[in-house]
């Protein structure tokens, strides 16, 4: 079977080529952006005197009707029309007649799709930024509520030092803060309008590029027609920000998986964000966190696809770039649901403060504090480290905690440990409160960090409008 065509290639497209050539199954997702860009282009043509105001009005009205048909599910895209652009234009001509054919004056599908992609990234990017802000809000709210919940801090997944849950939640929040900034930066660099760049060398018509850019909400038109139609680094940058965000969400998900095990028992996820086993009736699985981990792999793949796609492309549009849409759409589809699901899971979960406090009782977590105590007494830290390390080894041999060693053992290890003054160094709650340094887990420090973060998030949210 062949697909009939006209113009330069009248003999039809082979069916195998048609399957390869058609992109509407993917780029159909861009129909809102395509119609929005076409409306701005039609108005720009009228301002430039290229079409009449009446013709522009007819085109804009027709495009509104096309949008309504798509929104209501009345218009089904035809694969023989290749892509979303040709489907929209063909339906426009069906509705308003030959004047619809004037819409493509001074425009190529090359600058059209580049504009659609930037508009799409901006729309989905704004949704993603808003979801990041919601997740951050949940983390800040939980950090405030759990301010008195103590827990171990870990290195190498081993209990390391006493800390507090709020401090840990604020560490997650800092990741989200940087992800928000990276995505914002990428969207800022994508905020230029390619319309008017034509296929590669601009247009011979006196197009109102600046006016079209303003109408579409872009900061400015693109500066170079070759770059505007043939470069997709803005997609790569946004996909990179999304992939890194997905990795960060995966790290949070991993900790929720660990913390929800019987071995940790630090958190219980609500039923709304858990699943059961089809075989084992006792199971309550942290699937929300596991699915978030899995989506990160897909998000990383989208970035790799876009990087490989643009590698070795000569300047000027190449049809290879038809493959830029699926990974970009998938990148947003990976990250947006994860942000919203994690926000919901963290807002509704139960943190077991008692179990976290119990975890502080094993692992000699105040060993560093005891070494610091000796350092404050004038003992060189390396010597203090050696002394306390030997005491830990002795406690391990006896099967007890460092704090439970006899008075005589401490006195024999170093004269500075002979008095009861050392006991304060081995108190986990006091150990946390001693860490008032900026970035530390003391209650006052964490409360200040929460207030600072809340102010920062309010500022960026207000800046976005």
pLDDT, average across residues 274-295: 87
pLDDT band at 277 (very low <50, low <70, confident <90, very high): confident
pLDDT, average across residues 290-300: 96
pLDDT, average across residues 116-138: 98
Beta-bridged to residue 362, according to DSSP, are: none
Which of 85, 163, 167, 277 is catalytic? The answer is 277
* Residue 153, helix vs strand vs coil: strand
Which of 156, 262, 278, 312 is catalytic? The answer is 156
Cβ-contact 200, 230 below 8 angstroms: yes
Mean pLDDT of the chain: 94
Asked whether residue 8 carries a pLDDT value surpassing 80, the answer given is: no
Here the tokens at position 443 are 């209650």
Cβ-contact 137, 346 below 8 angstroms: no
User: For 193, phi and psi rounded to 5 degrees?
Assistant: -100, 120
CA distance 174 to 179: 9
The pairing of beta strand 350-351 with beta strand 267-268: antiparallel
pLDDT band at 4 (very low <50, low <70, confident <90, very high): very low
Q: Which residues have CB under 8 Å from 60's CB, separation 6+?
A: 39, 42, 43
User: For 440, phi and psi rounded to 5 degrees?
Assistant: -90, 175
Diameter of the chain measured on Cα atoms = 100
pLDDT band at 6 (very low <50, low <70, confident <90, very high): low
Q: Is 220 a catalytic residue?
A: no
Domains, the chain, in order of start with CATH, read 13-105 (1.10.275.10), 110-133+165-352 (1.20.200.10)
Q: Is 262 a catalytic residue?
A: no
């Amino acid at each position: 079977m062949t697909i009939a065509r006209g113009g330069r290639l009248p003999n039809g497209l082979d069916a195998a080529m048609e399957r390869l050539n058609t992109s509407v199954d993917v780029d159909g997702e861009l129909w809102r952006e395509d119609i929005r860009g076409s409306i701005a282009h039609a108005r720009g043509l009228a301002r430039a005197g290229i079409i009449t105001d009446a013709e522009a009005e007819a085109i804009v009205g027709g495009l509104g009707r096309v949008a309504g048909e798509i929104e209501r599910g009345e218009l089904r895209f035809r694969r023989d029309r290749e892509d979303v652009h040709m489907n929209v234009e063909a339906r426009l001509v069906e509705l308003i007649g030959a004047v619809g054919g004037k819409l493509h004056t001074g425009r190529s599908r090359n600058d059209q799709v580049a504009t659609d992609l930037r508009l799409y990234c901006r729309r989905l990017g704004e949704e993603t930024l808003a979801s990041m802000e919601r997740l951050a809000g949940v983390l800040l709210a939980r950090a405030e509520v759990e301010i008195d919940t103590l827990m171990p801090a870990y290195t190498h997944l081993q209990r390391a030092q006493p800390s507090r849950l709020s401090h840990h939640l604020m560490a997650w929040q800092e990741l989200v803060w940087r992800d928000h900034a990276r995505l914002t930066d990428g969207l800022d660099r994508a905020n230029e309008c390619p319309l008017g760049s034509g296929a590669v060398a601009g247009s011979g018509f006196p197009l109102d590029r600046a006016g079209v850019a303003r109408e579409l909400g872009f900061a400015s038109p693109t500066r170079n027609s070759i770059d505007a139609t043939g470069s997709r680094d803005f997609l790569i940058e946004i996909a990179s920000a999304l992939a890194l965000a997905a990795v960060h969400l995966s790290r949070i998900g991993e900790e929720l998986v660990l913390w929800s095990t019987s071995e940790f028992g630090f958190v219980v996820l609500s039923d709304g964000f858990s699943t059961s086993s089809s075989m084992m009736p006792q199971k309550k699985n942290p699937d929300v966190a596991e699915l978030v981990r899995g989506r990160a792999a897909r998000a990383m793949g989208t970035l790799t696809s876009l990087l490989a796609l643009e590698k070795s492309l000569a300047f000027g549009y190449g049809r290879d770039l038809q493959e830029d849409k699926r990974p970009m759409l998938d990148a947003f589809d990976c990250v947006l649901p994860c942000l919203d699901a994690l926000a919901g899971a963290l807002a509704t979960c139960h943190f077991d403060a008692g179990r976290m406090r119990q975890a502080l009782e094993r692992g000699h977590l105040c060993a560093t504090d005891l070494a610091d105590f000796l350092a404050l007494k004038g003992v060189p830290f390396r010597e203090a480290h050696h002394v306390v390390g030997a005491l830990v080894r002795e406690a391990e041999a006896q099967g007890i905690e460092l704090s439970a060693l006899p008075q005589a053992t401490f006195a024999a290890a170093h004269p500075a440990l002979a008095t009861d003054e050392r006991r304060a160094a081995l108190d986990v709650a006091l150990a946390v409160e001693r860490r008032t340094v900026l970035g530390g887990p003391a209650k006052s420090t964490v409360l200040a960090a929460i207030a600072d973060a809340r102010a920062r998030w309010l500022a960026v949210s207000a800046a976005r409008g």
